Amino acid sequence: MNSLSSRLLVSVSVLLLFFFGATIVVLDSAFTRAGEQSQRDILDGHLVGLLAAAEEGDSHDLVLPPYRLREPRFDRIGSGLYGELRDGGGEILWRSDSALGLEIPEGIFPELGNHLFLREALADGTPLLTLSLAVEWEFEDGVLKTYVFKVAESLDSYNAQIAKFRGQLFGWFAAVALTMLLAFSMLLRSLLKPLRRIEAEITEIEEGDRVSLSTTFPTELAGVARNMNLLIDSERARSDRYRYTLDNLAHSLKTPLAAMRALLNDRRRESFGERFNEQIDRMDEIVRYQLRKPAASAADKLVLTPVPVEQEIDRLIGGLRKVYRDKRPEFDVRIEKGMQFRGDTGDFLELAGNLLDNACKWCERSVRIGIVPSAGARASASGMVLTVSDDGPGIPEDAASALLQRGMRLDESTPGHGIGLAVVNDIARSYGGRLKIGRSDLGGAEIRVSIPPISRS
């Protein structure tokens, strides 16, 4: 499962299996309920037919003359449709010819005037759907008697239709799923073609057949190709710098090595040790200087460490609560979910830490910090707008610019060194941002640091 296409195909297969499985269950349930309701409606019609055919006999009991039955299946043996009439005591008064040789289960005696649907079975296990109705019949002489009309129909044909429907349902959905997977695999192969091209071009770069990746990739991969080219150029430049440094180092060491060789020929002189050590010290300085040059000149900004903003702010607030435990400031934290700062962790801690510390120092009770992406940036990008507000005395407009200078303070009686805002301003400027001092809606100062997203040409 190391292949991305395999993972996508497996994921889509699982989703299709789940979706189609749920669809099959819903359709099967709907079809089954509709079929069963249809069976009940049919039985209800047969029961109404029996009620309409019933008439008073000579013995003051109901009878069902065969010539009055509208459904011929009652007269056909083994038709699967059965009917019977019982009196209030459960004695059978009439049973259809179709039930010849069969014993229709008596079942539960229904309440008077209520229809009772049941699933029952014959002695041989044949499933039945039965409908019973208890009625009170008034004869011509005013006598009232209770009778139970019952119709039953075999569910063999119904179950066969359900099984056939389910087989067709599974077959069609399986064919649709396979067709969709085939179409998706072909589409996926086309969509992943740029990735395979990137892999091929990287292989050509490793073999020395290419200098950089091409720039004709789709929008989603253009940034990857651009950053990869930046990385390749940076590594190539770094390699050149180290090669030049080693050349310079070798050239610089030639002179002290020659001097040491000359000293070895004259090692009997008293000043030999001192002069020899001087050359060793010189070589040590040359080595350290030459090796420090490439590190100092390399501007490695291709890979920026993502700093989890919310986590670091929580750590800062936890520490400030301990420092200002007597004041007990109330913090209102408003940070966009998933917000990250792309840069040095120490820089972010200096930015947020100095501003929060100043706010806690000057606030009366409330401190608010908000961090959102800068315009045109995402929460995971480098750009951000950090705002810290308090309900303290605030900062006069004419003193705002002076506070950005190192050592400047408005109140000498308050502990501090007067460099916090200057440090924040320096860090913001190093990231191409700016600092703005204003008045908060809480009544105190509001410091806003805006850092734009890092753009690369």
Of 347, 376, 363, residue with least CA distance to 453: 376
Same domain, 291 and 401: no
Residue 126 placed within a domain: yes
CA-to-CA separations, 354 to 13, 110, 417, in angstroms, rounded: 53, 84, 12
Same domain, 261 and 316: no
The more confident residue out of 410 and 316 is 316
Residue 210 placed within a domain: no
Residue 186 placed within a domain: no
Domain stops at, among 233, 268, 297 = 297
Is-contact 374 451, C-beta < 8 A? yes
| pLDDT, mean of residues 379-397 | 83
Q: How far apart are CA 295 and CA 238, in angstroms?
A: 9
In the predicted structure, residue 379 carries a pLDDT above the cut 60:
no
Question: pLDDT-derived band of residue 297, with 50, 70 and 90 as boundaries?
Answer: very low
DSSP label at residue 325: T
CATH number reported for the structural domain that contains residue 125 in this entry: 3.30.450
Of 401, 391, 402, residue with least CA distance to 439: 391
Q: How far apart are CA 417 and CA 437, in angstroms?
A: 19
Give percent above pLDDT 70 in the chain: 80
Domain stops at, among 237, 264, 297 = 297
* Residues sharing a CB contact under 8 Å with residue 194, sequence separation 6 or more, in sequence order: 217, 218, 221
Q: How far apart are CA 18 and CA 12, in angstroms?
A: 10
In the predicted structure, residue 197 carries a pLDDT above the cut 50:
yes
Same domain, 236 and 320: no
Residue 196 placed within a domain: no
- Angle at the Cα of 444 (from 439 to 448), degrees rounded to 5? 50
| pLDDT, mean of residues 185-203 | 85
Same domain, 331 and 276: no
Residue 130 placed within a domain: yes
Number of residues that this document lists for the chain: 457
**Token pair for 237:** 């430049």
Same domain, 321 and 429: yes
Residue 182 placed within a domain: no
Q: Which neighbouring-strand residues pair with 8? A: none
Same domain, 310 and 435: yes
Task: Out of 205-209, 300-304, 321-325, 435-439, pick the least confident.
Answer: 300-304
| pLDDT, mean of residues 286-310 | 60
In a 10 Å sphere around its CB, with 0-12 CB exposed, 13-18 middle and 19+ buried, how is residue 313 labelled?
buried
Same domain, 324 and 253: no
CATH number reported for the structural domain that contains residue 326 in this entry: 3.30.565.10
DSSP conformation letters of 188-201: HHHHTHHHHHHHHH
**Residue 367 has what pLDDT?**
94
Is-contact 406 355, C-beta < 8 A? no
Q: Which neighbouring-strand residues pair with 386? A: 371, 449
| pLDDT, mean of residues 120-133 | 90
CA torsion 203-208-209-214 (nearest 10°) is 60
Of 382, 351, 386, 369, residue with least CA distance to 452: 382
Among left, alpha and beta (phi > 0; psi -120 to 50; other), residue 111 is beta
Is-contact 284 253, C-beta < 8 A? no
Domain stops at, among 129, 145, 161 = 161
Kindly report the number of other CB atoms within 10 A of residue 97's CB atom: 15
Same domain, 268 and 155: no
Same domain, 335 and 435: yes
Residue 331 placed within a domain: yes
Helices (H), 363-403: 397-400
Task: Out of 42-46, 72-76, 92-96, 316-320, pick the least confident.
Answer: 316-320
End-to-end alpha carbon distance in the chain? 37
Residue 72 placed within a domain: yes
Same domain, 310 and 414: yes
**Residue 9 has what pLDDT?**
83
Is-contact 38 158, C-beta < 8 A? no
Q: How far apart are CA 388 and CA 442, in angstroms?
A: 11
Same domain, 14 and 76: yes
pLDDT digits (tens, 9 = 90+) for 155-175: 988 889 899 998 998 999 989
**Residue 398 has what pLDDT?**
77
Task: Out of 18-22, 61-65, 145-149, 276-280, pick the least confident.
Answer: 276-280
**Token pair for 445:** 């100062």
In the predicted structure, residue 238 carries a pLDDT above the cut 80:
no
CA-to-CA separations, 239 to 190, 213, 233, 235, 244, in angstroms, rounded: 37, 19, 10, 6, 9
pLDDT digits (tens, 9 = 90+) for 243-271: 656 655 654 565 466 566 666 666 666 66
Question: pLDDT-derived band of residue 12, with 50, 70 and 90 as boundaries?
Answer: confident
The more confident residue out of 2 and 228 is 228
CA torsion 380-220-238-308 (nearest 10°) is 10
Sign of the torsion angle spanned by Cα atoms 305, 308, 314, 317: positive
Supply the range of the domain harboring residue 245. Answer: 219-297
Question: pLDDT-derived band of residue 429, with 50, 70 and 90 as boundaries?
Answer: confident
Same domain, 29 and 54: yes
Amino acid identity for residue 17 in this structure: L
61 three-state secondary structure? coil
35 three-state secondary structure? helix
Give percent above pLDDT 90 in the chain: 21
pLDDT digits (tens, 9 = 90+) for 76-92: 888 889 999 998 888 88
Q: How many domains does one find in the chain?
A: 3
CA 86 to chain centre: 65
Q: Which neighbouring-strand residues pair with 150? A: 84, 132
